[in-house]
Amino acid sequence: MTAFLFHEKRNYILPLPVDIVEEITLFRNIPSPLQFPPPYFQHGYNDYAIKLSKLLIFMWTCVWDPYMGNSIGDPTICFIVLSCIQHDNSWAQAKDITPILARMLYILQTVFLYNIHFNSVSACVCKRHSAIKTWLDSDQNSIFYSVCSFQYMALSVAYTQLSLSQVY
C-alpha cells in the first residue's frame, strides 16, 4: 500500500488532495530506519512509524468522493482493485483476493490501534478511541466498512466455488 502511494506511477494516474501529496512528500524525505547505525535503529524506527501512522490515519479518515479524474476516489480501494488484476489483465479468483483483503483489514486495525495507544495527544485511551471509532465501525461509510464488505463478498464467492480453496 505504501509503495503504491510513494512510487511514481507509469500508466495509472492517482489524483490525490494537496494535503496528502504534501504528507507523502514529507514522508519521502525521512531517512529509512535501516539507514541508521544499530544503536540508533530503534529511535529512527519510532519516528518513521509515527509519521507513517499519521499519513495512513490522515488518508483513512478522509471522505473520498469519486470525480471525473478518479471514479473510485479512495486510494486504498484503488490499491485493492489494482491488486486484484492479474498479469493477463483478468480478474483474480475470489480465493486469491481474500488474502489481500485480510491483510488490508489487519493493517487498518493495527494502524488505528497504534494511533490510539501511541500517536495521540489526549491522555485518555477512551477519548482517543472515541475520536476514531466512527472510522472503525463496519456500519459507517468508511474505508474499514468498504474493506469488510469486500472481504464478505469475496469469502461468499470463494465458499461457493467448487474447488477446495484456502480463504483468510
Query: Within a domain: residue 112?
Result: yes
Query: Within a domain: residue 123?
Result: yes
Please give the grid coordinates belonging to residue 30: 525521512
Residue 102 has a pLDDT of 92
Contact 75, 12 (CB under 8 A): no
Query: Within a domain: residue 168?
Result: no
Number of structural domains in the chain: 1
Query: Within a domain: residue 166?
Result: no
| Cα four-point dihedral sign 73, 91, 86, 144 | positive
Contact 44, 31 (CB under 8 A): yes
Please give the grid coordinates belonging to residue 85: 488484476
What distance lies between CA 59 and its chain's CA centroid?
Answer: 8
Query: Within a domain: residue 89?
Result: yes
Residue 103 has a pLDDT of 92
**In angstroms, how far is the first alpha carbon of the chain from the final one?**
19
Note down the domain range covering 141.
Answer: 2-160
Helix (H, G, I), strand (E, B) or coil at 91: strand
Query: Within a domain: residue 96?
Result: yes
Q: Which residue positions in the chain have pLDDT lower than 50?
A: 41
**Amino acid of residue 162:** L
Contact 148, 142 (CB under 8 A): no
Query: Within a domain: residue 121?
Result: yes
CA–CA distance, 20 with 25 (Å, rounded to integer): 8
Please give the grid coordinates belonging to residue 34: 535501516
CA–CA distance, 14 with 40 (Å, rounded to integer): 35
Please give the grid coordinates belonging to residue 72: 473510485
